[in-house]
Amino acid sequence: MPEPFVVRPREGFVRGAQPVAPVAAEAAPRHPVLEPLAEYLDDPDVTDLFVNGADGLFVDRGRGAERAGRWRATERDVRELAVALIGLGGRHIDDAHPAVDVRLEHGMRVHAVLPPVSRGGTVISVRVPRRTRLDLPGLQAAGVVDAGGRVRLEQLIAARENLLITGAAGTGKTTLLSALLSRVPSTERIVTIEDVAELAPDHPHHVALEARQANLEGAGGIGLARLVREALRMRPDRLVVGECRGEEVRELLSALNTGHDGGAGTLHANGLDDVPARLEALGALAGMSDTALARQVASAIGCVIHLHRGRDGVRRVAGAGRPVVREGRLAMEGLPWA
């Protein structure tokens, strides 16, 4: 019976507690701060890790979150782990900044929330990138699209259609967008803009811009809206916003309506029918009326591709639509998907 995995920060936490299982010889070198999670980071099936304070660690291997029974940690341990992980990403988390998102080595994404914002203790969420970058054939093999859907996606990229990829959290929006951008001709320049850089297309001319958190004095922050404006001065052939979540939607729509074809973005939405309401909410943050937003979206976006994660854990393209204006409001018109 293996010993329980216990995080012991006061025995040299920053240097890293020893994992239960030894790190595989072929595993890529990683910072010692990540050693408490090494056993799970080395599992090729793991897509997400969730540390819920002293309540324990949960692991998602594509079948939903499952408790990692050998993990043991106190609230103090988990808080120190959160501070170390966020610091490794070049940002800071403390009582004045209790919720922070960072990108670590190898594309790993970490989000942490401290009490009292998180009532049950420090919460850490880790998105683990796939070791193998999936292209469109790989997505077809994984069941995300069938042969007809793959052909349709390739046609959209070749036609320089402006795309919006939607879905709930964990449905594979970033993975699909990276695969699509990998199909962009090598002669074109891709500029991606993200709050935390995750897009990694297999493309020779990809420029990634990442938002920057303000320093302790509240200065130096650079948000997505400004980065979109900066990207327009970089002569992008494909302008991409990794996730629209605020006022940057105005700059993106303006850009896509002024000759920047072949652009893309992602958006959290539970279904195609929910997309208009989500966009209207973002438009309101940018000071846009529902009518103005509807006209901008209908003119800028050629196709909305919606992803869904089934109970079997498989991500699939659930449908596609085209934004239209009906009675002055944004609506979705379904498109055949095959």
Per-residue pLDDT tens digits for 123-141? 999 998 766 678 999 999 9
Residue 279 is predicted with a pLDDT of: 95
Cα 113 to the center of its chain, rounded Å: 17
**Residues 234, 228: Cα–Cα separation, whole Å:** 10
**Residues 317, 67: Cα–Cα separation, whole Å:** 29
Q: Select the CATH number that applies to the domain covering 5-127 from these four: 1.10.340.30, 3.40.50.300, 3.30.450.370, 3.30.830.10.
A: 3.30.450.370
CB 80 within 8 A of CB 73: no
Determine which of 36-40, 54-58, 74-78, 131-135 has the lowest per-residue pLDDT on average. Answer: 131-135
Please tell me whether residue 178 adopts helix, strand or coil conformation: helix
Residue 216 is predicted with a pLDDT of: 65
CB 19 within 8 A of CB 35: yes
pLDDT band at residue 167 using 50, 70 and 90 as cut-offs:
very high
**Angle, CA 193 vertex, CA 189 and CA 196 arms, to 5°:** 135
Residue 254 is predicted with a pLDDT of: 86
- For 265-310, the pLDDT digits (tens) are 999 999 999 999 999 999 999 999 999 999 999 999 999 999 998 8
**Better pLDDT: 269 or 195:** 269
CB 282 within 8 A of CB 249: yes
Residue 235 region by backbone torsions, left for phi larger than 0, else alpha for psi between -120 and 50, else beta: left
Pairing of strands 65-67, 57-60: antiparallel
Please tell me whether residue 160 adopts helix, strand or coil conformation: coil
Residue 251 is predicted with a pLDDT of: 85
pLDDT of 176 strictly over 90 = yes
Residue 221 is predicted with a pLDDT of: 83
With both helix axes pointing from N to C terminus, report the angle between 248-256 and 224-232 in degrees, rounded to the nearest 10.
20
CB 175 within 8 A of CB 158: no
CB 71 within 8 A of CB 150: no
User: Where along the chain do the CATH 3.30.450.370 domains lie?
Assistant: 5-127
Is the C-alpha dihedral spanning 309, 315, 319, 324 positive or negative?
Answer: positive
pLDDT of 4 strictly over 70 = no
CB 93 within 8 A of CB 100: yes
Q: Which CATH superfamily is domain 136-335 in?
A: P-loop containing nucleotide triphosphate hydrolases (3.40.50.300)
Strands (E) in 147-272, as ranges, are: 163-167, 190-194, 206-210, 238-241, 264-268
Residue 311 is predicted with a pLDDT of: 81
Residue 195 is predicted with a pLDDT of: 82
**Residues 109, 130: Cα–Cα separation, whole Å:** 12
User: Where along the chain do the CATH 3.40.50.300 domains lie?
Assistant: 136-335
